[in-house]
Amino acid sequence: MRNKFSYLLWAFLLILLGCSGTENTDQQTTDTPPPISDQMLGELIMQGFRGMEIDSVSPLVKEQIANGEIGSIILFDYDVGYKSYGRNIESPAQVKQLLTDLQSIAPGYLLTAIDQEGGRVTRLRPTYGFPALASAQDMGAQPTTDSTTYYASLNAQTLRHLGFNVNFAPVVDLNVNPENPVIGGIKRSFGAETETVVEHAQAWIVPHSKAGILSVLKHFPGHGSSQTDSHKGFTDVTNTWTPEELAPYREILASEGAIAVMTAHVFNRAIDSYYPATMSKHYIQGILRDSFHYDGVVFSDDLQMKAVNTLYPFETIIQQAINAGVDVLVFGNNLVDYDEGLARRTIQTIRKLLDEGKVSEERIRESYERVTALKARLKE
């Protein structure tokens, strides 16, 4: 009898232990993050493409969007490779249909971006049937921000109607060098004083935020003092840049609104003697994250610009940008040889870097979580 009782007791204990072990296994399984998928990596990629309607977009680009390998897209009106207009933009109805169709084939919510600053940098031009926008310099020269608010409201409603959710504007570079070929020289700065830039930038951001459009401040940590154009080559601001150029970012990022940041490819050996800002932890992690306590999404400037593309191998650019803290790798696909499979090549490169331990899964997951959280807010 005693043996039978002991047998039953042990059997009962084994069942309990088995259940307990199963619960622990389930808990461990629940706590284990999913493997890094191509779709997760795709959330870190923004790519430009050719085509003005869904049928003229290449099958490979559409396949990458449908697979989630391209999580964000950017539109242009001018095609640099073809040296002609007619890349993605022809009319309001055409742009709206294109974005609607591309959004419909994506497995998740696409970020749909454009550079619509006003003045010289305007992709949606009056010649296509869109409203005219004054330049930042002309808006900043006004005694009040009323003009800026007017143009921003007009632009925000246009972008919202078409289906955009990201605008790479406003420029918050201080107009340190009025002859700057890529900022002051083409009237992209609101002004030389921090107060002017901050006031007008906020007047620009608020209407966009109300319309559900993300405003992206550029070009961190400041491109206004440069003497060269980072689209065209190495851009060294070591002798011209001052910490005051960070002030607009510090003040605006402390305010409310749907805001993100775009990095610049400027080089400053006093801060990082090896890499430009887009590829440097000293700028993104050290200044933006640690000093300014910014935890939102960081977009790179176009990684095909010559300030990085001609100086570093593709793999090095990807490795350094991700490790520096960039969340979305931007490829306009409009400055060098057109590459329909660019996103897929980028994903393969990131996988290689992960396998070699040069990029950590933790960094990938950080960016993935920031991007997906941003998308959830914009989709509301």
Task: State how far the Cα of 224 lies from the Cα of 183, in Å rounded to an integer.
Answer: 6
pLDDT for res 11: 40
At 161-180, the pLDDT tens digits run: 999 999 999 999 999 999 99
Q: Tens digit of pLDDT for each residue in 206-222?
A: 999 999 999 999 999 99
Closest to 283 measured CA to CA, from 302, 297, 265:
265
Report pLDDT digits (tens) over 311-349: 999 999 999 999 999 999 999 999 989 999 999 999 999
Mean pLDDT of the region 132-159: 98
Per the domain annotation, does 32 fall within a domain?
no
The answer to whether residue 182 is domain-embedded is yes
Does residue 310 form part of some domain? yes
pLDDT for res 61: 98
pLDDT category at 247 given cuts 50, 70, 90 is very high
Decide: 181 and 223 in contact? Cβ < 8 Å: no
> Does residue 380 have a pLDDT over 90?
no
CATH number of the domain enclosing 68: 3.20.20.300
Query: Into how many domains does the chain fold?
Result: 1
Contacts 24+ apart (CB under 8 A), 283-291: 283/220, 283/221, 283/324, 284/324, 284/325, 284/326, 285/324, 285/325, 287/221, 287/246, 288/220, 288/249, 288/261, 288/325, 289/325
pLDDT at 27: 43
Contact 268, 230 (CB under 8 A): no
When pLDDT is averaged across residues 94-112 and rounded to a whole number, the result is 98
The pLDDT value recorded for residue 262 is: 98
Strand (E) positions, 105-240? 111-114, 116-118, 121-122, 166-167, 214-220
Nearest by Cα to 314 from 324, 304, 300, 322: 304
Judge whether 289 lies within some domain.
Answer: yes
- Using the predicted structure, report yes or no on whether residue 25 has a pLDDT greater than 80: no
Spatial separation of the C-alpha atoms in residues 102 and 114, rounded to whole Å: 15
User: Which residues are catalytic, by number?
Assistant: 231, 301
- Position 258 scores a pLDDT of 82
- Over residues 52-68, the pLDDT tens digits come to 999 999 999 999 999 99
pLDDT at 21 over 70: no
Q: For residue 26, with 0-12 CB atoms within 10 Å meaning exposed, 13-18 middle and 19 or more buried, which class applies? A: exposed
Adjacent-strand bridge partners of 236: 267
Mean pLDDT score of the chain:
92
Rounded-to-5 percentages of helix, strand, coil across the chain: 45, 10, 40
- Residue 24 inside a domain? The answer is no
Domain membership of residue 294 as a residue range: 37-379
Asked whether residue 264 is assigned to any structural domain, the reply reads: yes
In the predicted structure, residue 24 carries a pLDDT above the cut 60 = no
Please check whether residue 23 lies inside any domain of the structure. no
Q: What is the pLDDT of residue 228?
A: 87
Question: How far is Cα 43 from Cα 373, in angstroms, rounded to an integer?
Answer: 11
Q: Tokens in use for 216? A: 């992206």
pLDDT class of 30 with cuts at 50, 70, 90: low
Residues 6+ apart with CB under 8 A from 11: none
Q: Looking at the domain assignment, is residue 15 inside a domain?
A: no
No. of helices (H) and no. of strands (E), the chain: 13, 12
Q: What is the pLDDT of residue 185?
A: 96
Sign of CA pseudo-dihedral 87, 204, 179, 284:
negative
Question: pLDDT at residue 8 above 80?
Answer: no
